[in-house]
Amino acid sequence: MNGLKRDFPILQQEVNGHPLVYLDSAATSQKPLQVIQALEEYYRGYNSNVHRGVHTLGSKATDAYEGAREKVRRFVNARSIKEIVFTRGTTTALNMVAASYAKPRLQAGDEIILTPAEHHSNLIPWQQVAKATGATLKYFPLAADGTLEMGKVKEMITPQTKIVAMQHVSNVLGTVHPIKEIAQLVHAQGGVIVIDGAQSAPHLKVDVRELDVDFFAFSGHKMCGPTGIGVLYGKEELLEQMEPIEFGGEMIDYVDLYDATWKELPWKFEGGTPIIAGAIGLGAAIDYLEAIGLDKIEEHDRKLASYAVERLSQIEGLTIFGPREGRLGVVTFNLGDVHPHDVATVLDAEGIAVRAGHHCCQPLMRQLQVTATARASFYLYNDEADIDLLVKGLQKTKEYFGHVIR
Amino acid sequence: MSLDDLYRRVIMDHYQRPRNRGRIEDGAVTVDLNNPTCGDSISLQMRVEDGVIQDAKFLGEGCSISLASASMMTEAVIGLSPEKGLELVDLFSRLMQGEEVDMEQFPLEDIEALTGVAKFPARIKCATLAWKALEKGLKEKH
């Protein structure tokens, strides 16, 4: 994994007089030259609309766009490209499942189960479904370290469970949940499992058939791809039953003045000119990640997280949230009574970019009994030296705010 | 950009020993505001009688900048008319946008220490939260 930093032009700069140490990849990852070049080649060389033009550029763009879909299919090991819908991101994908699959099917007495650690994007759509249908929202309890208590999970999944919607990897705690096991429990009771894969797809090999999940959503920009592109994987038989959310060009088969029919999967869900450049960029990102190897990336990101936990826990007064072991890519912490904004500002002055705030997980923050935390997140371009600089920066923060640390 | 421009001694003093932190017993207007991007929150109470802000107190969660700003704001506006209070809201907002303003207009010298916040764009919202609560309270209820 050495030398990967060189592929990322943005990392070659100084911020506030210090070499940039980017530790905010859980928010968005940086982009390698290979992805930037793919976008530039498209816009310079063959920018054109897809699925309609007879002209050469149109075919080239269509081939690249649909080629990217095939790369995504392979990336998650879906059966067919019919199961790969391009979306604006994870949020849009999860909202599609909530609005198009769940809302027309659920009723009072049905249950939707989430975890309390869900990102707002996998929480609020389900609150809306529950309000609209009368279904009940329930939550798997989390142990103090943020891991799931599987005994409770087993107990709670019943024939009333129509949907289990949960994260694969927590964006705050870095916990990796046993999705395959939970999917089996859900299916045994006739329910459907929806996975927010925004924090897992960048870091580990996702195999939707092996996990046997019904829906799996993820974003391009967190895995070296551009913003504005994401993916909804759905089992073909489920997507087939669902109505489109957006109506317009590109998604229709036959249109008359009073009615219309839809294209086949996956295009019935892609109304309007699709995210062509985004999909091509995502394809390039997948090529980049696969050339390195997802297994290697996972090993690297796990190692960095445990190195960070080890180093950070040596800082007196620092609290780490989440499990001590087995976390992937993320370490969330607070430094005594210094507010995380102040921590992030002092680190920024040292060129170190971390996130401070509630990380779009307000209910989880309440459970952790904090209003905000600081978060350092790692990806393939980070190394132990970055974490050493973080530790140095935190020691400086401690000195700076020495009088408020208790 | 120096950290000392941001974290002036007087800011840290207000942060550690906030003035007017607490609740007003009765006859108060309450404004609750959140900064949804970062999770900061303030609950500001004011008692306005005879055209004068007689008392102002706050409770809140936030960083040094947001709590120090709330402490200074309450100290500054007690004894002023609501109209003058709204003028200060405007003045403070211009100060945070980096404009040159007449600092003499603030009845509290300490506020000058917040001038440096304008150089830290990510922190301006921290400093303005309490003043937004003040504006809301004065506009809605009077």
Give the pair of three-digit tokens for residue A187: 């299916």
Query: Which CATH number characterizes residue B36's domain?
Result: 3.90.1010.10
Q: Percentages helix, strand, coil for chain A, rounded to the nearest 5?
A: 45, 20, 40
Closest Cα in chain B to A371: B39
Q: Please state the ipTM of this predicted complex.
A: 0.84
**pLDDT for B68 beyond 70:** yes
A345: chain B residues, CB-CB within 8 Å: 3, 6, 120, 122-123
d(CA A375, CA A327): 13
And the tokens for A359?
Answer: 């990380």
**A360 is an active site residue:** yes
Q: Best residue in A18, A332, A338, A342 to probe B by mutation, most B CBs within 10 Å?
A: A342
| CA distance readout (Å), A285 to A35, A259, A321, A369, B4 | 6, 40, 31, 38, 41
Q: Return all residues near A167 (Cβ < 8 A) that are at least 6 apart.
A: A115, A117, A118, A119, A122, A177, A195, A196, A198, A199, A200
By the 10 Å C-beta count (0-12 exposed, 13-18 middle, 19+ buried), A212 is classed as middle
DSSP A124-181: HHHHHHHHHH-PEEEE--B-TTS-B-HHHHHHH--TTEEEEEEESB-TTT--B--HHH
Query: Measured between CB atoms, does B59 come within 8 Å of chain A?
Result: no
Closest by Cα among B27, B32, B34 to B53:
B27
Judge if A31-82+242-292 and A90-219 fold alike in CATH terms.
yes
Mean pLDDT of successive 10-residue stretches along chain A, which has 406 residues: 92 97 98 98 97 89 97 98 98 98 98 97 98 98 92 98 98 96 98 98 98 98 98 98 94 93 96 97 98 98 96 96 92 94 95 94 89 95 98 94 66
pLDDT of residue A404: 60
What number does CATH give the domain A31-82+242-292?
3.40.640.10
**Which residue of the set A286, A360, A376, A387 is catalytic?**
A360
- pLDDT for residue A354: 98
Indicate yes or no: CB of B3 within 8 angstroms of CB of A339.
no
Note the CATH number of domain A4-29+293-404: 3.90.1150.10
Q: Which helix (H) or strand (E) holds A334?
A: strand A330-335
Min Cα distance B38 → chain A (Å) is 5
B142 has a pLDDT exceeding 70 = no
Q: Domain map of chain A by residue range?
A: 4-29+293-404, 31-82+242-292, 90-219
Q: What amino acid occupies position A130?
A: A
Taking each helix axis as running N to C, give the angle between helix A384-400 and helix A340-349, from 0 to 180 degrees, rounded to the nearest 10. 120
- CA–CA gap between residue A23 and residue A47 (Å, rounded): 34
Residues 2-21 of B with CB under 8 A from A: 2-3, 6-7, 12, 15-16
Instruction: Give the domain extent around B59.
Output: 3-141
Select the residue of B15, B39, B123 nearest A345 (Cβ to Cβ): B123
Domain range A90-219, CATH architecture: 3-Layer(aba) Sandwich (3.40)
CB within 8 Å: B123 and A358: no
* Most confidently predicted of A306-315, B1-10, B18-27: A306-315
Residue B26: the pLDDT is: 81
CA angle at A173 for the pair A169 and A178, rounded to the nearest 5°: 35
Subunit contact B64:A339, Cβ cutoff 8 A: yes
- Do B38 and A357 count as a contact with CB atoms less than 8 A apart? yes
The residue whose two tokens read 């607490």 is B22
C-alpha span between A153 and A200 (Å, rounded): 21
Yes or no, beta carbons of A345 and B12 under 8 Å apart: no
What distance in Å separates the CA atoms of residue A162 and residue A141, rounded to the nearest whole number?
Answer: 18
- The tally of domains found in chain B comes to 1
A349 → closest Cβ in B1, B15, B126: B1
CB A25 within 8 A of CB A329: yes
